[in-house]
């Protein structure tokens, strides 16, 4: 665990016993204490506080790969709780944008057309 995490917390509870928390940072020392937090009912919760450069272990694909490689044949179920976001359906709307803002010069009076407008018309051809 310390290859990818700075700190590890293991919370564990047996049906007929109290719930305990084991916590350690890499370095050899650890603490064990009764846990008064949310009861697991039964089982173990492992929390890894990942190092900054190990963010790929947050990806669902990577976690599944590691569990399959190292724990495929463990006799107890291994479950992962993922917090997922639902994709929102984007609202569709229409927007008008005029693409041809220059009016055709042949429909206008030649005396009202500037040299600049003639130039722009010529460039557009």
Q: In angstroms, how far is CA 4 from the centroid of its own chain?
A: 19
Both tokens of residue 96? 């008008």
What are the structure tokens assigned to 50, written together? 């990942």
- Tell which residue, 77, 78, 11, has the closest CA to residue 40: 11
> Which of residues 33 and 125 earns the better pLDDT score?
33
Kindly tell me if the per-residue pLDDT of 124 is higher than 60. yes
Q: Count helices and strands (H / E) in the chain.
A: 2, 4
Q: Which residues of 29-65 are buried (b: 16+ CB within 10 A; e: fewer)?
A: eeeeeebeeeeeeeeebeebebeeeeeeeeeeeeeee
Level-2 CATH architecture, domain 5-71: 2-Layer Sandwich (3.30)
Q: CB of 54 within 8 A of CB of 4?
A: yes
The stretch 82-96 carries a mean pLDDT of: 74
For 17-31, write each residue's pLDDT tens digit: 899 999 999 788 999
74, pLDDT greater than 70: yes
Q: Alpha-carbon distance 79 to 38, whole Å?
A: 18
Q: Listing from the earlier edge strand, what are the strands of the sheet with 30-34?
A: 30-34, 19-25, 5-13, 43-50
Say what the pTM is: 0.58
């Amino acid at each position: 665990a310390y290859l990818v995490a700075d700190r590890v917390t293991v919370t564990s509870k047996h049906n007929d016993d109290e719930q305990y928390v084991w916590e350690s940072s890499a370095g050899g020392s650890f603490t064990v204490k009764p846990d008064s937090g949310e009861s697991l009912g039964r089982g173990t919760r492992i929390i890894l506080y990942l190092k900054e450069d190990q963010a790929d272990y947050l990806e669902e694909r990577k976690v599944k790969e590691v569990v399959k490689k190292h724990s495929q044949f463990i006799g107890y179920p291994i479950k992962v709780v993922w917090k997922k976001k639902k994709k929102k359906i984007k609202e569709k709307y229409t927007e008008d944008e005029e693409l041809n803002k220059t009016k055709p010069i042949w429909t206008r009076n030649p005396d009202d057309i500037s040299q600049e407008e003639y130039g722009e018309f010529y460039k557009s051809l």
